[in-house]
C-alpha cells in the first residue's frame, strides 16, 4: 500500500519520534533524491526541502512542523551522514545573524571522504581495549593449545605484554624477584601457598617437592 507523502513525513517527523530516527529518515530520503542529481547540479537547503516535502502537500499544523524540522535535521546531517552531499554555499543574513548556508548536490567522495565539505565531522575511531584483546587471545590458547613455534611465540609475546605493559599476569606458576629474595607465585586458587625464598632454586624445589607442582614453572627476572 502506498502511503501518501504528507502522511509519511508527518508521521516520521512527529515531535514524539526519537531524534535519531528522524535524522535517519531525512538522511535516507535526501540521499535518494540527491543521488539522481548530475554532478553539476546544486540546490539550497530551502530547495531541497521543497523537493523532499513540497509545500503544496503540507496541510495543517503537523505538516508545517514537519517541513520546518527538515531544515534543522539537514543542518545536522550536513556534517554527518550527508556530508558527501553537502558543501558551504553563500553567506546570508538570517534572523539578524550572518550565516554560511549549505548547498546540496549528488554524493561525491574521494578515498572515502567528502570532496567539497571541509566541515565534515569524521567519527572518532573506537578505542581498542588492548587488555580485553589479550585476554581473549590467551583464552583461545587455553581451549586450543599452541602447536607451532609461531603460535608459541605469539602466546609468549601476549603474556609478556599482559604482564609488563598492563601489569597483569596470566594464571600459572612463576618465580619472580621480590626485593633481594625470590617469590614462588601460584594461581589465584592456590595463592595462599606463595612464599619468599633465598634463591630461585629454593623456590622451585619448594613448588615441585613440597607442593607437588607438575606444570611448567616460569622464572621472571
Percent of the chain with pLDDT over 70: 91
Confidence of residue 36 (pLDDT cuts 50, 70, 90): very high
Check if the beta carbon of residue 216 is closer than 8 Å to that of residue 173.
yes
pLDDT tens column, 115-128: 777 777 666 666 76
Q: Which residue has the higher pLDDT, 166 or 190?
A: 190
pTM equals: 0.53
Domain ranges for the chain: 5-114, 124-170, 172-221
Q: Which residue has the higher pLDDT, 27 or 113?
A: 27
Average pLDDT over residues 210-218: 86
> Does pLDDT of 74 surpass 90?
yes
127 vs 138: CA distance, rounded Å: 20
> Does pLDDT of 167 surpass 70?
no
Backbone φ, ψ for residue 46 (5° rounding): -60, -45
What pLDDT sits at residue 32? 94
Q: Which residue has the higher pLDDT, 35 or 169?
A: 35
What pLDDT sits at residue 55? 92
CA-based nearest residue to 46, from 63, 70, 14: 70
Cell for 208? 615441585
pLDDT tens column, 124-158: 666 767 777 887 887 788 888 888 888 888 888 88
> Does pLDDT of 219 surpass 90?
no
Confidence of residue 26 (pLDDT cuts 50, 70, 90): very high
Check if the beta carbon of residue 194 is closer than 8 Å to that of residue 183.
yes
Mean pLDDT of all residues belonging to the chain: 85
Kindly give the pairing relationship between strand 113-114 and strand 109-110. Answer: antiparallel
Among 93-97, 160-164, 177-181, 182-186, the range with the most confident prediction by mean pLDDT is 182-186
Q: Which residue has the higher pLDDT, 167 or 75?
A: 75
> Does pLDDT of 218 surpass 90?
no
> Does pLDDT of 170 surpass 80?
no
Q: Per CATH, which fold does 5-114 belong to?
A: Arc Repressor Mutant, subunit A (1.10.10)
Q: Taking the mean position of all CA atoms in its chain, how far away is CA 160? A: 27
Amino acid at each position: 500500500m502506498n502511503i501518501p507523502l504528507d502522511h509519511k513525513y508527518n508521521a516520521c517527523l512527529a515531535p514524539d519520534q526519537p531524534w535519531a530516527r528522524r535524522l535517519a529518515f531525512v538522511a535516507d530520503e535526501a540521499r535518494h533524491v540527491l543521488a539522481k542529481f548530475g554532478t553539476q547540479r546544486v540546490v539550497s537547503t530551502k530547495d531541497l526541502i521543497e523537493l523532499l516535502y513540497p509545500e503544496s502537500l503540507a496541510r495543517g499544523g503537523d505538516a508545517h512542523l514537519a517541513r520546518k524540522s527538515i531544515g534543522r535535521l539537514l543542518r545536522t546531517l550536513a556534517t554527518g551522514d550527508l556530508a558527501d552531499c553537502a558543501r558551504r554555499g553563500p553567506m546570508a543574513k538570517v534572523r539578524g545573524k550572518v550565516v554560511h548556508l549549505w548547498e546540496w548536490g549528488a554524493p561525491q567522495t574521494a578515498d572515502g571522504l567528502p570532496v567539497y565539505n571541509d566541515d565534515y565531522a569524521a567519527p572518532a575511531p573506537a578505542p581498542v581495549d588492548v587488555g580485553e584483546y589479550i585476554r581473549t587471545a590467551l583464552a583461545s590458547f587455553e581451549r586450543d593449545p599452541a602447536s607451532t613455534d609461531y603460535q608459541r611465540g605469539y602466546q609468549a609475546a601476549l603474556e609478556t605484554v599482559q604482564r609488563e605493559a598492563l601489569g597483569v599476569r596470566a594464571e600459572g606458576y612463576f618465580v619472580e624477584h621480590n626485593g633481594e629474595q625470590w617469590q614462588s607465585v601460584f594461581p589465584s586458587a592456590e595463592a595462599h601457598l606463595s612464599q619468599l625464598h633465598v634463591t630461585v632454586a629454593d623456590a622451585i624445589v619448594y613448588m615441585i617437592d613440597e607442593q607437588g607442582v607438575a606444570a611448567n614453572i616460569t622464572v621472571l627476572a
